[in-house]
Amino acid sequence: MAVVLDRDARVVAVAATGAYGRAQIEFMQSAGTNVVAMVALGRGGQQQGAVPVFDTVAQAVAETDANAAMIYAPAPGVRSALIECADAGIGLAVAAAEYVPLHDTLYAVAYARERGMHVVGPNTAGMASPGQAMLGAVNPSFTRPGKIGLMGRSGTLTLVIARLLSQAGIGQSSVIHIGGDSVIGTNPDQWLELFDQDEETSAVIYLGEIGGLKEFVLAERVSSAGKPVASLIVGRNAPAQKQMGHAGALIGSDRETASAKQDAMREAGATICNSPDAVVEFARAHQ
């Protein structure tokens, strides 16, 4: 009941040092995450609590068999951190930073895909497979184990819907904030394919927004999905040419409006939800 991230994940925390790093590691551990290593150049050989520190991701992987990474590097360091993780054989990397330069993301994401590494973000609150593991800042109290796959472009909306589902007694297989930037690592159509292949995910909820064309590519995949898909697209009253919230939420053409995306998802066979309550009702009927 998990997509990509599960209880077998052995996590290396990259650039999570000092009081901030300790807090982040403890938060992930509270969700069941097995953090086996940290990477901080120049601090190799030290310990942060019970977690050993290495100078490079490759050293951490060689010593601890780490297979996932949580990257806390600032925006200018995300490109090199993602490349380092991909070169070390990491299978899943989550990049939290906002304001990563666009061309850095383009290069690093292409590099990661060539090496089979899933990337969540940049500009993400992270992901969680409830009861198993969490990478980032998805509060464990907001989630519960179950069969609904949840993914979204807005971190706040993704966490709100996860919490509403949990309060309604509806569990999730995985909760993924895919990232708020215009270019991200793994796109919604790719996540849908993974959810569709997961035998213990019964239905998928997508939380979209204005800006970009990701929803149109997703719609093509929805039409062939073997599981029910619901879509909530926010920003229906957003003005054109005005950025709303973060980098990816900017209407540049009529196709990038919420209504156009809703129409595409509806034509592909998705259930269109116009409120969080409607999303909960969809999940209740398909859990």
Q: Which of 118, 177, 246, 286 is catalytic?
A: 246
**Is 97 in the same domain as 153?**
no
**Is 78 in the same domain as 202?**
no
Query: Domain span at residue 48?
Result: 10-120
Q: Determine phi and psi for 31, rounding to 5 degrees.
A: -95, 5
**Is 116 in the same domain as 147?**
no
Return the pLDDT at 78.
98
Residue at 125 is within a domain: no
Rounded to an integer, what distance in angstroms lies between the CA atom of residue 52 and that of residue 181?
32
Residue at 132 is within a domain: no
> 126-129 and 172-177: which strand pairing?
antiparallel
What is the Rg, in whole angstroms, of the alpha carbon atoms belonging to the chain?
18
Structural domain tally of the chain?
2
**Is 95 in the same domain as 228?**
no
| CATH number of residue 242's parent domain | 3.40.50.261
Residue at 32 is within a domain: yes
**Is 14 in the same domain as 61?**
yes
Rounded to an integer, what distance in angstroms lies between the CA atom of residue 211 and that of residue 109?
20
Which DSSP state fits 245? S
- To the query of whether residue 286 is one of the catalytic residues in this protein, the response is no
**Is 147 in the same domain as 246?**
yes
Residue at 22 is within a domain: yes
pLDDT > 60? residue 248: no
Return the pLDDT at 258.
86
CA angle 228, 248, 17 (to 5 degrees): 100
Rounded to an integer, what distance in angstroms lies between the CA atom of residue 277 and that of residue 260?
22
Whether the predicted model's global pTM rises above the 0.75 cut: yes
Alpha helices in 65-187 (DSSP H): 78-87, 102-114, 155-167
Smallest Cα–Cα separation from 138: which of 172, 88, 177, 86?
177
Q: Which pLDDT tens digit goes with each residue over 145-204?
A: 999 999 999 999 999 999 999 999 999 999 999 999 989 999 999 999 999 999 999 999
| CATH number of residue 85's parent domain | 3.40.50.720
SS3 of 260, please?
Answer: helix
Q: Which of 120, 155, 173 is the last residue of a domain?
A: 120
**Is 104 in the same domain as 38?**
yes
Residue at 21 is within a domain: yes
